[in-house]
A and B are shown apart, each in its own frame.
Chain A
Amino acid sequence: MDKGRIPGNKGIWVGICCEFVEFLLLFAVYFVARAHFPQEFTASAGRLHLWSGIWITVAMVSSSFCIAAAVVTIRNSQRRASLACLVLGLLIALSYPLLKWHEIQWNLAHGINGEAGIFFTVYYYLTINHMVHAFWGILGMLWVLTRHSFGIYSAENHDGLEALASYWHATDLIWLVIFPFFYVLV
Protein backbone atom coordinates (compact mmCIF):
# COMPACT_ATOMS: atom_id res chain seq x y z
CA MET A 1 0.00 0.00 0.00
CA ASP A 2 1.29 3.45 -0.96
CA LYS A 3 1.80 5.38 2.28
CA GLY A 4 2.36 8.68 0.52
CA ARG A 5 4.97 11.37 1.03
CA ILE A 6 5.50 14.14 3.55
CA PRO A 7 5.47 17.51 1.76
CA GLY A 8 8.15 19.83 3.12
CA ASN A 9 9.46 18.19 6.26
CA LYS A 10 8.22 16.20 9.26
CA GLY A 11 8.72 19.17 11.61
CA ILE A 12 6.18 21.38 9.88
CA TRP A 13 3.62 18.56 9.93
CA VAL A 14 4.08 18.08 13.67
CA GLY A 15 3.47 21.83 13.97
CA ILE A 16 0.35 21.58 11.77
CA CYS A 17 -1.03 18.74 13.93
CA CYS A 18 -0.42 20.84 17.07
CA GLU A 19 -2.14 23.80 15.38
CA PHE A 20 -5.16 21.62 14.58
CA VAL A 21 -5.38 20.35 18.17
CA GLU A 22 -5.16 23.91 19.51
CA PHE A 23 -7.93 25.16 17.25
CA LEU A 24 -10.14 22.11 17.85
CA LEU A 25 -10.03 23.06 21.54
CA LEU A 26 -10.99 26.62 20.64
CA PHE A 27 -13.82 25.33 18.43
CA ALA A 28 -15.01 23.28 21.41
CA VAL A 29 -15.06 26.52 23.44
CA TYR A 30 -17.23 28.06 20.68
CA PHE A 31 -19.75 25.20 20.77
CA VAL A 32 -19.87 25.09 24.58
CA ALA A 33 -20.39 28.86 24.76
CA ARG A 34 -23.06 28.74 22.04
CA ALA A 35 -24.87 25.87 23.78
CA HIS A 36 -24.91 27.72 27.11
CA PHE A 37 -25.71 31.21 25.80
CA PRO A 38 -27.92 30.70 22.71
CA GLN A 39 -29.79 33.99 23.18
CA GLU A 40 -26.55 35.98 23.37
CA PHE A 41 -25.23 34.31 20.23
CA THR A 42 -28.49 34.98 18.39
CA ALA A 43 -28.59 38.60 19.54
CA SER A 44 -24.91 39.36 18.89
CA ALA A 45 -24.40 37.54 15.58
CA GLY A 46 -25.08 39.89 12.73
CA ARG A 47 -23.51 42.87 14.49
CA LEU A 48 -20.10 42.06 12.99
CA HIS A 49 -18.84 43.62 9.78
CA LEU A 50 -19.74 40.88 7.26
CA TRP A 51 -17.62 42.29 4.44
CA SER A 52 -14.48 42.11 6.60
CA GLY A 53 -15.07 38.39 7.03
CA ILE A 54 -15.70 37.94 3.31
CA TRP A 55 -12.57 39.89 2.29
CA ILE A 56 -10.39 38.01 4.78
CA THR A 57 -11.71 34.74 3.29
CA VAL A 58 -10.95 35.97 -0.23
CA ALA A 59 -7.44 37.01 0.91
CA MET A 60 -6.76 33.66 2.59
CA VAL A 61 -7.91 31.46 -0.31
CA SER A 62 -6.24 33.72 -2.90
CA SER A 63 -2.88 33.75 -1.12
CA SER A 64 -3.19 29.97 -0.66
CA PHE A 65 -3.78 29.65 -4.40
CA CYS A 66 -0.68 31.76 -5.15
CA ILE A 67 1.53 29.74 -2.78
CA ALA A 68 0.25 26.47 -4.29
CA ALA A 69 0.99 27.91 -7.76
CA ALA A 70 4.53 28.80 -6.57
CA VAL A 71 5.08 25.11 -5.70
CA VAL A 72 3.66 23.86 -9.02
CA THR A 73 5.77 26.28 -11.08
CA ILE A 74 9.05 25.51 -9.28
CA ARG A 75 8.40 21.80 -9.96
CA ASN A 76 8.27 22.75 -13.65
CA SER A 77 11.59 24.63 -13.26
CA GLN A 78 9.80 27.97 -13.83
CA ARG A 79 11.79 29.80 -11.17
CA ARG A 80 10.76 33.35 -12.09
CA ALA A 81 7.07 32.41 -12.26
CA SER A 82 7.39 30.67 -8.91
CA LEU A 83 8.98 33.77 -7.37
CA ALA A 84 6.23 35.97 -8.83
CA CYS A 85 3.53 33.69 -7.37
CA LEU A 86 5.23 33.75 -3.99
CA VAL A 87 5.49 37.57 -3.98
CA LEU A 88 1.83 37.87 -5.00
CA GLY A 89 0.85 35.37 -2.29
CA LEU A 90 2.79 37.40 0.28
CA LEU A 91 1.21 40.70 -0.79
CA ILE A 92 -2.29 39.22 -0.60
CA ALA A 93 -1.49 37.63 2.77
CA LEU A 94 -0.35 41.02 4.07
CA SER A 95 -3.83 42.38 3.39
CA TYR A 96 -5.16 40.06 6.11
CA PRO A 97 -3.72 42.00 9.10
CA LEU A 98 -4.78 45.25 7.42
CA LEU A 99 -8.34 43.99 6.97
CA LYS A 100 -8.37 42.71 10.55
CA TRP A 101 -7.11 46.07 11.85
CA HIS A 102 -9.86 47.85 9.88
CA GLU A 103 -12.44 45.40 11.23
CA ILE A 104 -11.33 45.90 14.84
CA GLN A 105 -11.45 49.69 14.41
CA TRP A 106 -14.98 49.33 13.02
CA ASN A 107 -15.93 47.04 15.92
CA LEU A 108 -14.61 49.45 18.55
CA ALA A 109 -16.43 52.34 16.89
CA HIS A 110 -19.64 50.32 17.24
CA GLY A 111 -19.02 49.35 20.87
CA ILE A 112 -17.88 45.80 20.10
CA ASN A 113 -14.95 45.06 22.39
CA GLY A 114 -13.88 41.94 24.28
CA GLU A 115 -16.34 42.71 27.07
CA ALA A 116 -19.36 43.24 24.84
CA GLY A 117 -20.64 39.73 25.57
CA ILE A 118 -19.68 36.06 25.39
CA PHE A 119 -20.13 35.93 21.59
CA PHE A 120 -17.58 38.70 21.06
CA THR A 121 -15.18 37.29 23.65
CA VAL A 122 -15.11 33.99 21.74
CA TYR A 123 -14.91 35.88 18.44
CA TYR A 124 -11.86 37.93 19.52
CA TYR A 125 -10.22 34.89 21.12
CA LEU A 126 -10.53 32.77 17.96
CA THR A 127 -9.88 35.40 15.29
CA ILE A 128 -6.90 37.06 17.00
CA ASN A 129 -5.41 33.62 17.68
CA HIS A 130 -5.82 32.81 14.00
CA MET A 131 -4.19 36.08 12.99
CA VAL A 132 -1.18 35.24 15.18
CA HIS A 133 -0.83 31.94 13.31
CA ALA A 134 -1.20 33.77 10.00
CA PHE A 135 1.54 36.14 11.16
CA TRP A 136 3.92 33.18 11.59
CA GLY A 137 2.99 32.15 8.06
CA ILE A 138 3.77 35.64 6.73
CA LEU A 139 7.17 35.55 8.45
CA GLY A 140 7.70 32.12 6.87
CA MET A 141 6.86 33.58 3.46
CA LEU A 142 9.48 36.31 3.94
CA TRP A 143 12.07 33.69 4.89
CA VAL A 144 11.22 31.39 1.96
CA LEU A 145 11.10 34.37 -0.43
CA THR A 146 14.61 35.40 0.65
CA ARG A 147 15.93 31.87 0.05
CA HIS A 148 14.01 31.57 -3.21
CA SER A 149 15.45 34.87 -4.51
CA PHE A 150 18.97 33.50 -3.85
CA GLY A 151 18.17 30.53 -6.09
CA ILE A 152 18.22 27.95 -3.30
CA TYR A 153 15.07 26.17 -4.50
CA SER A 154 14.94 24.08 -7.66
CA ALA A 155 12.64 21.55 -9.32
CA GLU A 156 14.48 18.80 -7.45
CA ASN A 157 14.78 20.49 -4.06
CA HIS A 158 12.08 22.83 -2.78
CA ASP A 159 11.25 21.32 0.60
CA GLY A 160 11.23 24.72 2.33
CA LEU A 161 8.68 26.10 -0.11
CA GLU A 162 6.49 23.00 0.30
CA ALA A 163 6.71 23.24 4.08
CA LEU A 164 5.56 26.87 3.97
CA ALA A 165 2.76 25.98 1.54
CA SER A 166 1.55 23.14 3.80
CA TYR A 167 1.48 25.45 6.85
CA TRP A 168 -0.32 28.22 4.97
CA HIS A 169 -2.96 25.85 3.56
CA ALA A 170 -3.54 24.44 7.06
CA THR A 171 -3.99 28.00 8.37
CA ASP A 172 -6.41 28.59 5.48
CA LEU A 173 -8.39 25.46 6.48
CA ILE A 174 -8.77 26.86 9.99
CA TRP A 175 -10.05 30.21 8.71
CA LEU A 176 -12.63 28.39 6.56
CA VAL A 177 -14.09 27.02 9.81
CA ILE A 178 -13.95 30.35 11.69
CA PHE A 179 -15.71 32.28 8.90
CA PRO A 180 -19.14 30.57 9.16
CA PHE A 181 -18.98 30.54 12.97
CA PHE A 182 -19.13 34.32 13.19
CA TYR A 183 -20.23 35.68 9.82
CA VAL A 184 -22.60 33.11 8.28
CA LEU A 185 -24.48 31.44 11.16
CA VAL A 186 -26.26 34.66 12.04
Chain B
Amino acid sequence: MSAAHASHQSSLRQLFFAWLGLLLLTALSVWIGREFHAQVGLQPLVAAVLWLKSWLVLRFFLEGRSIHIFFRRVLHTFIAITPICLVVFGLWHE
Protein backbone atom coordinates (compact mmCIF):
# COMPACT_ATOMS: atom_id res chain seq x y z
CA MET B 1 0.00 0.00 0.00
CA SER B 2 1.39 3.38 -0.97
CA ALA B 3 1.96 6.25 1.47
CA ALA B 4 -0.72 8.26 -0.32
CA HIS B 5 -3.31 5.53 0.30
CA ALA B 6 -2.19 5.08 3.89
CA SER B 7 -2.75 8.79 4.56
CA HIS B 8 -6.40 8.40 3.47
CA GLN B 9 -7.10 5.62 5.94
CA SER B 10 -9.45 6.32 8.83
CA SER B 11 -8.39 6.22 12.45
CA LEU B 12 -10.56 4.82 15.26
CA ARG B 13 -11.17 8.37 16.45
CA GLN B 14 -12.44 9.44 13.01
CA LEU B 15 -14.65 6.34 12.83
CA PHE B 16 -16.14 7.12 16.24
CA PHE B 17 -16.99 10.70 15.29
CA ALA B 18 -18.44 9.56 11.95
CA TRP B 19 -20.63 7.05 13.82
CA LEU B 20 -21.72 9.75 16.28
CA GLY B 21 -22.50 12.06 13.36
CA LEU B 22 -24.61 9.37 11.73
CA LEU B 23 -26.65 8.89 14.90
CA LEU B 24 -27.16 12.64 15.33
CA LEU B 25 -28.15 13.09 11.68
CA THR B 26 -30.63 10.21 12.01
CA ALA B 27 -32.23 11.99 14.97
CA LEU B 28 -32.17 15.26 12.99
CA SER B 29 -33.89 13.67 10.00
CA VAL B 30 -36.69 12.32 12.23
CA TRP B 31 -37.10 15.78 13.78
CA ILE B 32 -37.20 17.38 10.30
CA GLY B 33 -39.82 14.85 9.23
CA ARG B 34 -42.02 15.87 12.17
CA GLU B 35 -41.41 19.65 12.05
CA PHE B 36 -41.72 20.09 8.29
CA HIS B 37 -44.50 17.60 7.77
CA ALA B 38 -46.24 18.29 4.41
CA GLN B 39 -44.30 21.55 3.98
CA VAL B 40 -42.40 22.67 0.89
CA GLY B 41 -38.95 22.49 2.49
CA LEU B 42 -39.22 18.88 3.65
CA GLN B 43 -37.83 17.14 0.55
CA PRO B 44 -34.65 19.25 0.12
CA LEU B 45 -33.89 19.13 3.85
CA VAL B 46 -34.27 15.35 3.99
CA ALA B 47 -32.21 15.08 0.80
CA ALA B 48 -29.41 17.17 2.35
CA VAL B 49 -29.32 15.06 5.53
CA LEU B 50 -29.41 11.85 3.47
CA TRP B 51 -26.48 12.99 1.32
CA LEU B 52 -24.48 14.03 4.39
CA LYS B 53 -25.05 10.66 6.10
CA SER B 54 -24.07 8.78 2.95
CA TRP B 55 -20.97 10.96 2.58
CA LEU B 56 -19.89 10.15 6.15
CA VAL B 57 -20.15 6.41 5.43
CA LEU B 58 -18.33 6.82 2.12
CA ARG B 59 -15.58 9.09 3.46
CA PHE B 60 -14.77 7.40 6.76
CA PHE B 61 -16.15 3.83 6.80
CA LEU B 62 -15.41 3.01 3.16
CA GLU B 63 -12.33 5.29 3.08
CA GLY B 64 -13.59 6.67 -0.20
CA ARG B 65 -10.56 8.87 -0.89
CA SER B 66 -8.29 5.85 -1.32
CA ILE B 67 -10.68 3.70 -3.40
CA HIS B 68 -9.98 3.11 -7.08
CA ILE B 69 -11.24 6.09 -9.10
CA PHE B 70 -13.85 4.06 -11.01
CA PHE B 71 -15.51 2.70 -7.88
CA ARG B 72 -15.12 6.09 -6.18
CA ARG B 73 -17.16 7.64 -9.01
CA VAL B 74 -19.75 4.85 -8.76
CA LEU B 75 -20.12 5.49 -5.02
CA HIS B 76 -20.35 9.27 -5.37
CA THR B 77 -22.93 8.89 -8.14
CA PHE B 78 -24.96 6.44 -6.08
CA ILE B 79 -25.10 8.69 -3.01
CA ALA B 80 -26.04 11.71 -5.15
CA ILE B 81 -28.84 10.17 -7.22
CA THR B 82 -31.52 9.76 -4.55
CA PRO B 83 -31.07 13.20 -2.92
CA ILE B 84 -31.26 14.79 -6.40
CA CYS B 85 -34.40 12.76 -7.15
CA LEU B 86 -35.95 13.87 -3.85
CA VAL B 87 -35.26 17.55 -4.60
CA VAL B 88 -36.60 17.27 -8.17
CA PHE B 89 -39.61 15.32 -6.92
CA GLY B 90 -40.27 17.99 -4.30
CA LEU B 91 -40.07 20.80 -6.88
CA TRP B 92 -42.33 18.93 -9.26
CA HIS B 93 -45.02 17.86 -6.82
CA GLU B 94 -45.04 20.72 -4.34
B15 touches A5 (CB 8 A): no
Cβ contact of B18, chosen from A58, A65, A170, A173, cutoff 8 A: A65
Main secondary structure of the interface of A (DSSP, over half): helix
Please give the distance in Å from A88's CB to the nearest CB on chain B: 12
State whether A75 touches B50 (Cβ < 8 A).
no
A173 pairs with B78, CB closer than 8 A: yes
Within 8 A of A (CB), among B1-47: 1-2, 4-5, 9-12, 15-16, 18-19, 22-23, 26, 29-30, 32-33, 37-38, 42-43, 46
Q: Is the CB of B10 within 8 A of A68?
A: yes
Taking A35-B89, A73-B12, A75-B9 as contacts, is the C-beta distance between A185 and B57 under 8 angstroms? no
The count of A-to-B residue pairs whose CB atoms sit within 8 angstroms is: 122
Q: Is B85 on the interface with A (CB-CB < 8 A)?
A: yes
Q: Once the chains bind, are A173 and B54 in contact (CB under 8 Å)? A: yes
Q: How long is the Cα–Cα vector from A61 to B17 in the complex, in angstroms? A: 12
Q: How far is the CA of A19 from the CA of B5 in the complex (A)?
A: 26
Question: A50-72, CB under 8 A of B: which get 1 and which 0?
Answer: 10001001100110110011001
Which of these, A7, A61, A166, A169, contacts B19 with CB under 8 Å?
A61
Contact A5:B9 (CB < 8 A) given known A65-B15, A185-B43? no
Given contacts A2-B4, A50-B30, A166-B62, contact A177 B71 (CB under 8 A): no
A35–B93 CB distance below 8 A: yes
Q: Residue A185 contacts which of B10, B11, B42 (CB distance < 8 angstroms)?
A: B42
Q: Which of B48-83 contact A (CB under 8 A)?
A: 49-50, 53-54, 57-58, 60-63, 65-69, 71-72, 74-75, 78-79, 81-82
0 or 1 for each of A17-56: is its CB under 8 Å from B? (1 = yes): 1001000100100010011001000100000001000100
Q: Could you tell me if B11 and A72 are in contact, using CB atoms closer than 8 angstroms? A: yes
- B57 near A169 with CB under 8 A, answer yes
- A185 and B78 alpha carbons, distance in the complex (Å): 20
Chain B residues positioned under 8 Å from A176 (CB to CB):
50, 53-54, 57
Q: Using Cβ atoms and an 8 Å threshold, which residues of chain A touch B29?
A: 179-180, 184
Given A4-B68, A6-B71, does the pair A186, B19 have CB atoms closer than 8 Å? no
What are 8 pairs between A and B in contact, CB < 8 Å?
A2-B2, A4-B67, A4-B72, A17-B74, A20-B78, A69-B15, A166-B62, A183-B33
